[in-house]
Amino acid sequence: MDNKVAIPEIVQNAISSVDWEHWEQYGQCRSIPNEIWKIFKVHDDPSSAQAVIDVEYATGNAEAGTYYPSVIATIPILSLIVQHGGDWARCTALEILHDWIFMFSPEHKYREHIGTNERSDLKIVVRDEISKIFPEFEKIAQRGDIMDNEITFLRDLLEEFSEDR
């Protein structure tokens, strides 16, 4: 699969399949697709840092280190970028996922997420969703051509989720 052609189509299909209006009740989610697309323009540390901040503000309050339930809809899209994206895009997506696990927590009024007929702790739901990407984390870590920035993110994520395996 030619990633330069296929990944935008895969991501576009994933973005299109999300009911962003449903997630709008939890914040200004309509900007999330645009912020995700910025990840594909990342080409160095400064542009990666900006894309991370932009996605984290679209899905929560990056300054406060909090996220809204819309991260649940965003994680599968970031997973596709981790799986199929180029080096900088993959590194940027990994950093966002890393932040959500290790540095962020649910916005206070959204700590309890109401899913399909049940209530659950949003932090646990986010952790469970990110844990589904564990096999990809392992594959990337085994490659010899990963970026230095990715090593820390991958090491932490692998350590966090290896206990679950």
- What is the pLDDT at residue 2? 43
Classify residue 87 by burial, with Cβ atoms within 10 Å: 0-12, 13-18, 19+.
Answer: middle
> HSE-up of 70 (CA within 13 Å, CB side)?
28
Total of domains in the chain: 1
- What is the pLDDT at residue 114? 62
């966002």: which residue's tokens?
Answer: 96
Q: What's the distance, Cα to Cα, between the start and end of the chain in Å?
A: 29
- What is the pLDDT at residue 124? 92
85-131 pLDDT tens trace: 899 999 999 999 999 999 999 998 888 766 655 668 899 999 999 99
Distance of alpha carbon 16 from the chain centroid: 17
For residues 26 and 145, what is the distance between their CA atoms, to the nearest angstrom? 38
Residue-range definition of the domain harbouring residue 57: 3-162
Taking only the tens of pLDDT, the chain with its 165 residues reads 444 446 778 898 999 999 888 887 766 677 899 999 999 999 999 999 999 999 999 999 999 999 999 999 999 999 999 998 899 999 999 999 999 999 999 998 888 766 655 668 899 999 999 999 999 999 999 988 899 989 999 999 999 998 776
For residues 55 and 36, what is the distance between their CA atoms, to the nearest angstrom? 6
Contacts of 49 (CB under 8 A, 6+ apart): none
Q: Are 7 and 80 in contact (CB under 8 A)?
A: yes
Q: Are 105 and 136 in contact (CB under 8 A)?
A: no
For residues 69 and 43, what is the distance between their CA atoms, to the nearest angstrom? 29
Q: What's the predicted TM-score (pTM) here?
A: 0.90
- Amino acid 22 reads H
